[in-house]
Amino acid sequence: MTDLATETRRPETIAVSSEPERQPVLTVRDLHVTFSRAGRRIHAVNGLSYTLRAGRTLAIIGESGSGKSVSVRALMGLLPPSATVRGSALLGDTELVGMSDRAMRRIRGNDISMIFQDPARSLNPTMSIGLQITEAIRTHSDLDKKAAADRAVELLKLVRLPAPERRYHEYPHQLSGGMRQRVMIAIALAANPKVLIADEATTALDVTTQAQIMELLADLQDRLGTAVIMISHDLGLAASYAHEVLVMYAGQAVEHAETNTLFRNVRMPYTKALLGAIPQLTTVPHSQLTVIGGHPPDLAALPSGCPFAPRCNRATEKCRLDKPPLDEHEPGHLYACWHPYLPGSEDEPVPVDEETVS
């Protein structure tokens, strides 16, 4: 796990830019995803909204079951038949919600691609690396077999896979976990997508390889201008590589801001609790980390008030009865809380080390 007290990978790109904002490549508005199971309706995503611009990375973070992966799989059309998706997700001018399977197959892998968590399960063990990449290339282009093979080698070079010409003929079992993930990135980039989704793409890797993969994604983004959605439970990675962070709880966004703003000015108690559960260099050895008591709510029977209220030590009767809206209470900083940690209050959270988010 990346330590929040360490220096970030790209402080100059994470800082708020003074150049004009680029046009949105993805606009998600009021996204809802429900599942029907055994006569129950599970509300996995509840009114999620955000905008993603070219060359930017949005980190969506939260506990397991918070709706992170479900929300992006809804964009890709990768949910089971039991799922119902409502709302809007515009990829440029193209509406993804409600798109037919046939139309989605033209978009998926072409304009929007995903890197999955476990490359060992995603790659076909019976096919060579080169054949799997060329298959992805030819699916989304008119290149012949020879040109696709040449492009595959170029992609392997792009993702810095050692000896790409030799790796082209090898099989997944002959590669390390980090190498297999580089192959998955090459496949995802085969059609130069506008949006790249990394769904816990480094979770199964050791810390060193994890850092190498994130560095690679950051460099590729700088070169290609791809917009990236990073799904993770690791706030250290978000602090180091994302331009903005969206925190989810019980299928809802509870805090959203530029990375610098959020980690310096935590407002939502849930976000503060997540930060407190991460060891830092300043943590006293052998001291206990913060534990979020209780359990996430039943997504089939969400409470009428704030979903985090039963686990929050700041909750009042208002929190239990009335759901706080996700509003922009400060410029560029949205949060949903009736009793946030405000500047000057005695219990205001201590900001993360400025070297982390500067």
- The per-residue pLDDT for range 138-157, each reduced to its tens digit, is 988 889 999 999 999 999 99
Same-domain status, 151 and 298: no
Is 215 contained in some domain?
Answer: no
- Band the pLDDT of 275: cuts 50, 70, 90: confident
Is 127 contained in some domain?
Answer: yes
Secondary structure tally for the chain: helices H, strands E: 14, 12
Same-domain status, 100 and 229: yes
Tell me, what's the pLDDT at 11? Answer: 39
The better pLDDT of the pair 289, 193 is held by 193
End-to-end alpha carbon distance in the chain: 20
123-137, 198-212, 344-358: which has the minimum mean pLDDT?
344-358
Q: What's 17-57 look like in SS3?
A: CCCCCCCEEEEEEEEEEEEEECCEEEEEEEEEEEEEECCCE
Same-domain status, 105 and 23: yes
Same-domain status, 134 and 251: no
Q: Identify whether the C-beta of residue 297 lies closer than 8 Å to the C-beta of residue 310.
A: yes
209-234 burial code (b ≥16 CB/10 A, e <16): bbbbbbebbbebbeeeebbbbbbbbb
Tell me, what's the pLDDT at 207? Answer: 83
Same-domain status, 342 and 311: yes
- pLDDT for 163-189, tens place per residue? 999 999 999 999 998 999 999 999 999
Is 268 contained in some domain?
Answer: yes
CATH number at residue 232: 3.40.50.300
Same-domain status, 41 and 144: no
Instruction: Pick the last residue of a domain from 192, 213, 246.
Output: 192
Any idea which residue has 């390889």 for tokens?
Answer: 209
User: Mean pLDDT throughout 280-290?
Assistant: 73
Kindly tell me if the per-residue pLDDT of 325 is higher than 60. Answer: yes
The contacts of residue 113 (CB under 8 Å, 6+ apart) are 187, 188, 189, 190, 191, 193, 195, 196, 197
Mean pLDDT of the chain: 87
> Which domain covers residue 127, as residue numbers?
120-192
- pLDDT for 27-83, tens place per residue? 999 999 999 988 899 999 999 999 999 999 999 999 989 999 999 999 999 999 999
Same-domain status, 93 and 177: no
User: Mean pLDDT throughout 91-118?
Assistant: 92
Tell me, what's the pLDDT at 5? Answer: 36
Tell me, what's the pLDDT at 356? Answer: 39
- Band the pLDDT of 321: cuts 50, 70, 90: very high
Q: Identify whether the C-beta of residue 234 lies closer than 8 Å to the C-beta of residue 214.
A: no
Kindly tell me if the per-residue pLDDT of 6 is higher than 60. Answer: no
Q: Is 65 left (phi over 0), alpha (psi -120 to 50) or beta?
A: left
The better pLDDT of the pair 212, 6 is held by 212
17-26, 124-133, 173-182, 271-280: which has the minimum mean pLDDT?
17-26
User: Mean pLDDT throughout 257-273?
Assistant: 93
Same-domain status, 48 and 143: no
Torsion of CA 75, 80, 82, 86, to 10 degrees: 10
Same-domain status, 255 and 127: no
User: What's at 88, amino acid-wise?
Assistant: S
- Band the pLDDT of 348: cuts 50, 70, 90: low
Q: Identify whether the C-beta of residue 351 lies closer than 8 Å to the C-beta of residue 234.
A: no
- Band the pLDDT of 358: cuts 50, 70, 90: very low
Is 214 contained in some domain?
Answer: no
Is 147 contained in some domain?
Answer: yes
Tell me, what's the pLDDT at 118? Answer: 80
User: Mean pLDDT throughout 222-229?
Assistant: 92
| Number of structural domains the chain divides into | 2
Same-domain status, 254 and 356: yes
Residue 269: in which H helix or E strand, if any?
Answer: helix 269-276
Kindly tell me if the per-residue pLDDT of 328 is higher than 50. Answer: yes
73-77, 101-105, 114-118, 127-131: which has the minimum mean pLDDT?
114-118
- Band the pLDDT of 21: cuts 50, 70, 90: low
HSE-up of 17 (CA within 13 Å, CB side)?
A: 13
- Band the pLDDT of 352: cuts 50, 70, 90: very low
Helix then strand then coil, in percent of the chain rounded to 5, is 35, 20, 45
Instruction: Pick the last residue of a domain from 145, 173, 192.
Output: 192
Is 163 contained in some domain?
Answer: yes
Is 351 contained in some domain?
Answer: yes
Instruction: Retrieve residue 111's tokens.
Output: 């304009």
pLDDT above 90 covers a percentage of the chain that reads 65
Same-domain status, 358 and 251: yes
Is 212 contained in some domain?
Answer: no
User: Mean pLDDT throughout 278-300?
Assistant: 79
HSE-up of 52 (CA within 13 Å, CB side)?
A: 29
Q: Identify whether the C-beta of residue 69 lies closer than 8 Å to the C-beta of residue 63.
A: no
Same-domain status, 239 and 353: yes
SS3 (DSSP) at 244:
strand
Q: Identify whether the C-beta of residue 132 lies closer than 8 Å to the C-beta of residue 124.
A: yes
- Band the pLDDT of 344: cuts 50, 70, 90: low
pTM over 0.85: yes
Cα–Cα distance list, 142 to 101, 146, 148, 194 (Å):
22, 12, 9, 19
Residue 254: in which H helix or E strand, if any?
Answer: strand 252-258
